[in-house]
Amino acid sequence: MFEILEQMKHPNDIKKIDPADYRKLAKEIRRFLIGNISKTGGHLASNLGVVELTMALHLSLDLPEDKIVWDVGHQAYTHKILTGRKEGFKTLRKYEGMSGFPKKSESDCDCFNTGHSSTSISAALGLAKARDIQKKDDTIVAVIGDGALSGGMAFEALNNAARMKSNLIIVLNDNNMSISENVGGMSNYLGKIRTDQKYQGLKDNVEHTLRKVPKVGDAIVERVKRSKDSIKRLVIPGMLFEDMGITYLGPIDGHNIAQMMTAFNNAKKKKGAVLVHVITKKGYGYKPAEDQPSKFHGIDPFDVKTGDVIKKSSTESYTQVFSDTLVRLGKENEKIVAVTAAMPTGTGLVKFQENYPDRFFDVGIAEEHAVTFAAGLADGGLKPFVAIYSTFLQRAYDQIIHDVCIGNYPVVFAIDRAGIVGNDGETHQGIFDLSYLMSIPNLAVIAPKNKCEFAAMLEFCAEYDKPIAIRYPRGAAYEEYDEFQTPIINGKCEILHMEEDILILSVGSMLKIADEVRDELKRKGLRVSIVNVRFVKPFDFETLDWLLENHSTVVTMEENVASGGFGQMIGSYLAQNQEDVTMIPIALPDNFLEHGDPDLLRKKVGFTKENISEIILKKREEA
């Protein structure tokens, strides 16, 4: 079935096959990827687009001595296949299985762990400088997409790479897509190069022709290169990379292995940083993915013939609730605007974009800019909602403090994928946001217990006149407890069950497990109250003080790391006020959570009714 692919058992095995079989191997790899990802789910479209590119790199380099840093890393599946990890695809993104991203612990050929965007050039430049200092001669390559190149960190690295003069190859994988369609000036600039055939090879042809002039040819070329009106300005107007001091090669057909190998081998001979511009098609070789690359960016198991996802949840997701509610609020209030950093589909803003295109802003992969841009919108009298994943909001921490909260601007941070996310692993878990947001003055932090309350909280956010962050998990919206629909009041919690003795303070999505723990403890004859925290900050200490009159044990429950979280805040308050109660914080451990099914990960960290109940009973016995 996979005649050539079966020979790829170790790094560099690809160099043993006949070049006439390269195209056949590429087809086998695509068939293998489609077949396996249709069963496990994963990132498909981006990987289908870089099959030949990855093959050409492996044919041009000697791994693991030479090193490839994959930006983001979700497009490294072919790299994993060619380095002997084909069997690992049976457990792709499963707990204790193969990661969907490069991972040093998995292979010597994964030289740097990645997961977020626009980091590869910085990491590769660091590796290159370390190589130079140690007087080694390995080749260092960064592979970055055109979407990731729009990130500010990538520009910082390009600027530094030009100044440092270390030999470094930057492969620009240009498919005119990130997760969604690319936006911005860089995208437009690359589009001009991509579509204008006169650019291709013109610079090299002119230089070659001038050098053939008898006796003075070389001198003419060097003089023109040094002049303001150099060759690049004459025939390639606005050649951004060469203006920065980075040699530019391309554009090159990213599905032509021979052309790319020639370019990579030429790049290895040049001094300093070289950018090889490669044009690929996202989803290449599988029509459903070519037609809908965003759908197949990260996809659940699907039917290969139709491309349809096999199992769809019938329950509305939190992202869908956000999408529908924001469209409704946008109709009621024309000052509401929406901002996303290259993720309109993932954050649920497509409907808002369709309904209010002039009030929708996709700023590209630029989280820092997105937050400060939103501050400007708010300062100008609008009501911005910044929809962003918890893990990506980390990138804009300074802007949250400096540009939003010091000015006390009414920006709403809609933080999707808060808590355990699952299959994308350490780089994508949203388990730190409570810790990094709770310490910021002027910022309110809230979390809904269920679907109904989420919509009500969004309505509250639309009217709130200060900065506010609302965090909500990935997946199906919890629908229990709909009978509790008390109004959202600033800084006030909600009492769901009032008894005595044990008090559970539940943050957002933890209500489901809190309810299960209550049932477990009640079966043992204990009396348990549950409070829906709602406002993590400002917290309702007044109600807590009243509740402490009839409770001897306080249990906090949050899907966030313990350090700096809600539990620590409550524990500190109880200690300062010398309250004679047993304090039991239930939170995530102080480590990075690997990839795996979210429910399995929760079980592994002890988020089960049996384990939490046992902890509570044991702590009460020790008190």
- Residues assigned a catalytic role: 282, 367, 395
Q: What angle do helix axes 609-622 and 511-523 make, rounded to 10 degrees?
A: 60
- What is the sign of the dihedral through the CA atoms of 461, 462, 468 and 470? positive
DSSP secondary structure, 394-425, as one string: GGGHHHIIIIIITTT---EEEEES-B---TT-
Q: What angle do helix axes 22-40 and 257-269 make, rounded to 10 degrees?
A: 100
Element at 170 (helix H, strand E): strand 168-174
Q: What is the DSSP letter of 37?
A: H
Find all residues with CB under 8 Å of 480, minimum gap 6, and list them: 450, 511, 512, 515
Q: How far is CA 187 from CA 49, 174, 194, 364, in A?
A: 18, 9, 10, 10
Q: Is 228 exposed, middle or buried (0-12, 13-18, 19+ CB in 10 A)?
A: exposed
Q: Cα separation of 471 and 419, whole Å? A: 9
What's the length of the chain? 623
Three-state secondary structure call for residue 620: helix
CA dihedral 214, 219, 222, 223 (to 10 degrees): -120
Question: Is the distance from CB of 25 to CB of 19 less than 8 angstroms?
Answer: no
Question: Is the distance from CB of 425 to CB of 100 less than 8 angstroms?
Answer: yes
Q: Cα separation of 600 and 559, whole Å? A: 14
Per-position b or e across 140-164, b if 16+ CB within 10 A of its CB: bbbbbbbbbbbbebbeebbebbbee
Q: Cα separation of 437 and 462, whole Å? A: 20
- What is the sign of the dihedral through the CA atoms of 219, 223, 225 and 229? negative
Q: Edge-to-edge strand order for the sheet containing 140-145?
A: 67-70, 140-145, 168-174, 273-279, 247-253
Identify the CA nearest to 17 among candidates 110, 107, 82. 82
Q: How far is CA 296 from CA 4, 24, 356, in A?
A: 26, 23, 26
